[in-house]
Amino acid sequence: MTTESAPVSNFLRTIVQEDLKCGKHQTIVTRFPPEPNGYLHIGHAKSICLNFGLAREFGGRCHLRFDDTNPVKEETEYIESIKESVRWLGFSWGAHLYYASDYFEQLYLWAEHLIAQGKAYVDDLTADEIRAHRGTLTEPGTESPYRGRSVEENLDLFRRMRAGEFADGAKVLRARIDMASPNMNLRDPVLYRIIHAPHPHVGDAWCIYPMYDYAHGQSDAIEGITHSICTLEFEDHKPLYEWFLDNLPVPNRPRQYEFARLNLTYAIMSKRKLLQLVKDGDVTGWDDPRMPTIMGIRRRGYTPEAIRNFCETIGVGRSDSWIEMSILEDSVRQDLNERAPRAMAVLRPLKLVIENYPDGQAEEFSIANHPQKPELGSRAVPFCGELFIERDDFMEEPPKGFHRLVPGQEVRLRGACIVKCTGVEKDSEGNVVAVRCTYDPETRSGLPGAERKVKGVVHWVSARHAVRAEVRLYDRLFTEPNPAGDDWKLFLNQASVEVLSDCKLEPSLAQANSEDRFQFERQGYFCADLKESRPGAPVFNRTVTLRDSWIKK
């Protein structure tokens, strides 16, 4: 198994160390607070590894809290997939699983507190009107005509909002802060809106729901979070986060810290766009192995260790930057190179007939499961007079430097013996359907002649013993490093998956369990599909090629 990267120093790790050293906190409490409106992606993995990792490293705890404040976009499926993603990455929240909706009653009472203090009011403006009243970055906003309502009227209206008297969009509760503030987030932000929709966690108990900005910081305070870590897009929201803490009787005062989000080339990190890909049928689902979701890359064959190492390698900073997809791919290559046993699979089969091999005879060759790890043992691979090789491993008229099978030339069959091409068989259209060879029995593996050197080595599978399987060759989902703009879907890679339905595998692969990973000799790293593969009927997904095939693209 691979050794994971040692923790790399970063500004958040330094802050935590100093806070513990000076006694500001006796223990640290972090949280990972996803909105359950889609599956988590690789960007969330960075946040998961950061929050849970810091808590683990410094003997604290990390909460998993669902910021479930918008029932229209939230589903139980998303909640369960998020839990599974966090577990798969190797982290546990223990007894600390929470929902913002657990605090709805307290948040409501605190909203009434703001009203009673003259710091919140019920507004009848529509969403478009509120947007128009906000002003611009260079011009102040305009106060709502309903901003001057009395405390008594606001309390009455807010309670009637809760009671369900008003339609969706008819009224909202806004904080009364400063419509001329240079920070747009402080221009009387909306705290509550009316949504008559069932909630996946609390059912029909509520028809008014707090906004994320209002619920988030107060949930942190209720849970005693010491370090509220979020991405840089929330930096402008920090004054509002602190305004709520200043004006509410919260039991604790968390501190918000911001870090740069993960931007990955040849991928998108917008859950809205990922959902569009799912709904439009561009992918087979949130867990499609081409998707940058955690469940997608898991199904493709990535390991949690590779993801954790990747997140540690790219580091944590405060400057936005783009991380090359090749760094993520190299992470899983390095991990699987160490852990994945080797096997032989012929993806585009061409029959090879050994003319001088005794009819009906079969034998077995012992081949190591990993060339550098004898502790992984070996396997018996059957061999007979008819084999399958890769179609690309034979050429009648080869270019210069082609060292595989050609008429009159010898190659070594991996772990077996040397063969020499003597001719071909063709169909009525002139296509090669079989290659004919002779073999040198003195060069069989284990005999002195096995040391004889030839330039080419090809892999093979016994035709009599081969296991038929479906293999899916996955590639990057986009052809452009940054598929942005309104036309982002124009950059979808139409060759992002190729399904091969008649692949020939050595028999040791027949009983592969889902998520078993292998290096197919000379082909790449492959994983038995999490959903569709089963012993006796394997389906393999290519995780990554042996080398970066996009270097020259």
Pick from 523, 494, 472: nearest CA to 299: 472
Res 4: pLDDT: 64
Res 33: pLDDT: 97
Tell me where in the chain the CATH 3.40.50.620 domain(s) lie. Answer: 1-264
- φ, ψ (nearest 5 deg) of residue 145: -65, -15
Res 203: pLDDT: 95
Tell me where in the chain the CATH 2.40.240.10 domain(s) lie. Answer: 265-339+466-553, 342-464
Proportion of the chain above pLDDT 70, given as a percent: 98
- What does the pLDDT look like over 82-100, one tens digit per residue? 999 999 999 999 999 999 9
Beta bridge partners of 386: 353
Is beta strand 342-343 parallel, antiparallel or unpaired with respect to 345-346? unpaired
Instruction: Please state, rounded to an integer, the average pLDDT across all residues of the chain.
Output: 95
- What does the pLDDT look like over 371-386, one tens digit per residue? 999 999 999 999 999 9
Look up tokens 């918000």; give the residue: 256
For the entire predicted model, the pTM comes to: 0.94
- Quick one: pLDDT band at residue 2, thresholds 50, 70, 90? low
The class level of CATH for 265-339+466-553 reads: mainly beta
Q: How far is CA 506 from CA 49, 289, 292, 345, 503, in A?
A: 38, 24, 31, 6, 10
- What does the pLDDT look like over 154-203, one tens digit per residue? 999 999 999 999 999 999 999 999 999 999 999 999 999 999 999 999 99
Residue 219 CA to residue 225 CA, distance in Å, equals: 9
Residue 524 CA to residue 518 CA, distance in Å, equals: 8
What token pair was written down for 36? 């359950």
Question: How many other C-beta atoms can be found within 10 angstroms of the C-beta atom of residue 524?
Answer: 22
* Element housing 302 (H / E): none
- What does the pLDDT look like over 285-311, one tens digit per residue? 999 999 999 999 999 999 999 999 999
CB contact at 8 A, 381 and 506: yes
- Report whether CATH 2.40.240.10 matches the domain 342-464: yes
CB contact at 8 A, 188 and 175: yes
Beta bridge partners of 367: 379
- φ, ψ (nearest 5 deg) of residue 11: -65, -30
Look up tokens 């602190």; give the residue: 242
- Has residue 60 got a pLDDT over 80? yes
Look up tokens 């082909």; give the residue: 523
Res 546: pLDDT: 95
> Which DSSP string corresponds to 466-503?
PEEEEEEEE--SBSSSS--STTGGGGB-TTSEEEEEEE
Beta bridge partners of 319: none
Look up tokens 């013996």; give the residue: 417
CB contact at 8 A, 191 and 64: no
CA trace torsion 181, 182, 183, 188 (10° rounding): 30
Q: Classify domain 1-264 by CATH architecture.
A: 3-Layer(aba) Sandwich (3.40)
Instruction: Answer left, alpha or beta for residue 124, where phi above 0 means left and psi between -120 and 50 means alpha.
Output: alpha
Active site residues: 35, 261, 271
- What does the pLDDT look like over 431-465, one tens digit per residue? 999 999 999 999 998 888 888 999 999 999 999 99
- φ, ψ (nearest 5 deg) of residue 542: -75, 120
Q: Which residues contact 505 (CB under 8 A, 6 or more apart)?
A: 343, 344, 345, 346, 461, 466, 467, 468, 469, 538
The one-letter amino acid code at 292 reads P
- Quick one: pLDDT band at residue 527, thresholds 50, 70, 90? very high
